[in-house]
Structure 1
Amino acid sequence: MTSGDTQARRVSDVVHERMRQEILGGRLEPGAAVPSERMLAERFGVNRHAVREALKRLEQAGLVQISQGGPTRVLDWRESGGLEVLLDLIDDPGELPPQELVRAVLELRACIGTDAARRCAERADRATRAEVARLARETARLAGDAPASAAPAAGQHGGVEPGDDATPAAAVTAYDELWREIVRGAGNLAYRLALNSLLAALASFPLLAAALVPTDGARLAALGDAVAAGDPAAAEAAARALLEADEPPR
């Protein structure tokens, strides 16, 4: 990419962000006509090429519909948008998002996670299932609750005390990796892409992400052991017990 292309991209980024905020914030309502390229170029002080690039990105996200020979119109993003809109709705990283957004993210995570755990136990090879069990115990260790009573994974020992590396950030990373391994083992590409969006959304709220790491080592071990044993029903039940406990009450 040339420096000119990079500069044009930066300019279109500004237009894209401002238009996206107006659509998601309701200032441009579904069905409304977007101002013409000329008017937008004058408003933002940019060239029409930058405006065109920004509108294309909005169309790809399901926020507008571009018509040849007619006005570009705002779409109802709840009906036409994809998971990437979740990231766009997060306006203030570091602060907790609205309760409705938290619930939506956690309910989708639970839905995907329970089925992915079942499919991972069903489909994954032995090495992948063993890695899931290892990551479950590593998460429990870093979260400060590695159960001594549960059977250790291969090469591990039960009841390992958390070390100096047992920080909230390390526990979040291990928990993320646990779910990435489960979803990889499930062999479902749509689940993998959805998980990427969900983890990206949670990464903007480190306090929330840390709070979602289970501190119940026995539940984590139950999930890892069920997957390692190739028991789909037990894996699904263990995943549900972990994930649905995080959902906020209505």
Structure 2
Amino acid sequence: MTLTPAPRSSVSDHVFAQLRDAVLSGAYAPDAPLPSERELAATFEVNRHAVREALRRLQQLGLVKVSQGGATRVLDWRVHAGLDLAMSSGDILPVSTLVRDMMEMRACLGADAARLCALRGTPAAKETVIASVDALAAAAPDLDRMGEANVALWRAVVAGSGNTAYLLAFNSLVSGALAVGHVPPTLRTAELLDVAGHRRLAAHIAAGASAEAFAEAQTLLTAPISDRKETRA
């Protein structure tokens, strides 16, 4: 992979993106050293501050380990990276089923969040879920508006679960360049149009029926996974 000099705008972003893509493409294998800061600065025709900033971002993503006074070594992203990597590099991450994989994660998270929301959601949280279903129904048949309402509904369910880790994971799943919330609504038509299913879900949550809420959420969230065709993420 050939590295090119950085444009004058967004210098650090340019260095970061090229090094990230080089690591993910296999140009630098796990445990291989990156060129020194001095060499990278010369290659990109930038100052060393821009290189350090790019390396700091790569380290935050779990792609490299920066050692003071030593070589910066490449890490295996499969071992060290988190969801932030998918958010920043979905178009280059070497996984052909990433959209499907993220939707499967959403289905697992959403189903358990529905169970917990039914068990320990406050009355106000459960009312928010019911109101969110009404908003979803009111958005029909506009799939774009229904998609936005659907994200708001599941945010209400996850928030009502009282699980902060689930909420942070949900935020990752609906933000960034590659996100479940940005999947074309046509790929989630079965889920979006099942307003009756969402009303059943809200009713189960309101009644504190955790097992039923889990099952209904699982049915709703797995429909788009089984219906969609595999595409390159």
Cα deviation for residue 21 of structure 1 reads 1.2
Matches for 1:143-182 after TM superposition, within 5 Å? 143-144=140-141, 167-182=142-157
Going from structure 1 to structure 2, the CA distance change for 1:37 and 1:9 (only over 3 Å counts) comes to farther
The whole-number CA distance in structure 2 between the counterparts of 1:37 and 1:213 is 49
Cα deviation for residue 207 of structure 1 reads 4.8
Q: Does residue 86 of structure 1 match 2:86?
A: yes
| Partner in structure 1 of residue 162 of structure 2 | 187
Going from structure 1 to structure 2, the CA distance change for 1:186 and 1:209 (only over 3 Å counts) comes to farther
The whole-number CA distance in structure 1 between the counterparts of 2:98 and 2:191 is 19
The whole-number CA distance in structure 2 between the counterparts of 1:231 and 1:60 is 41
Q: Does residue 121 of structure 1 match 2:118?
A: yes
| Partner in structure 2 of residue 162 of structure 1 | none
RMSD over aligned CA atoms reads: 2.3
Secondary structure class of the residue paired with 2:34: coil
Secondary structure class of the residue paired with 1:67: coil
Q: 1:233 aligns with which of 187, 202, 211?
A: 211
Going from structure 1 to structure 2, the CA distance change for 1:73 and 1:183 (only over 3 Å counts) comes to same
Secondary structure class of the residue paired with 2:91: coil
The whole-number CA distance in structure 2 between the counterparts of 1:170 and 1:45 is 46
| Partner in structure 2 of residue 4 of structure 1 | none
Going from structure 1 to structure 2, the CA distance change for 1:184 and 1:21 (only over 3 Å counts) comes to same
Cα deviation for residue 116 of structure 1 reads 0.5
Q: Deviations over 1:205-248 (max 9, x none)?
A: 44566647421222111111111112111111110111122224
| Partner in structure 1 of residue 108 of structure 2 | 111
Structure 2: which 5+ residue stretches go unaligned? 1-7
Secondary structure class of the residue paired with 2:82: coil
The whole-number CA distance in structure 2 between the counterparts of 1:184 and 1:60 is 27
Secondary structure class of the residue paired with 2:159: helix
| Partner in structure 1 of residue 5 of structure 2 | none
Secondary structure class of the residue paired with 1:247: helix
Going from structure 1 to structure 2, the CA distance change for 1:179 and 1:207 (only over 3 Å counts) comes to closer
Q: Which amino acid is 1:198 matched to? A: L
The whole-number CA distance in structure 2 between the counterparts of 1:182 and 1:191 is 10
Cα deviation for residue 131 of structure 1 reads 1.4
Cα deviation for residue 140 of structure 1 reads 3.2
Contact 2:191–2:223 (CA under 8 A) maintained in structure 1: no
Q: Deviations over 1:149-191 (max 9, x none)?
A: xxxxxxxxxxxxxxxxxx2221111100001111111111111
In the alignment of these two chains, the number of paired residues is: 217
Contact 2:191–2:221 (CA under 8 A) maintained in structure 1: no
- TM superposition score normalised by structure 2: 0.85
The whole-number CA distance in structure 2 between the counterparts of 1:207 and 1:128 is 26
The whole-number CA distance in structure 2 between the counterparts of 1:12 and 1:89 is 16
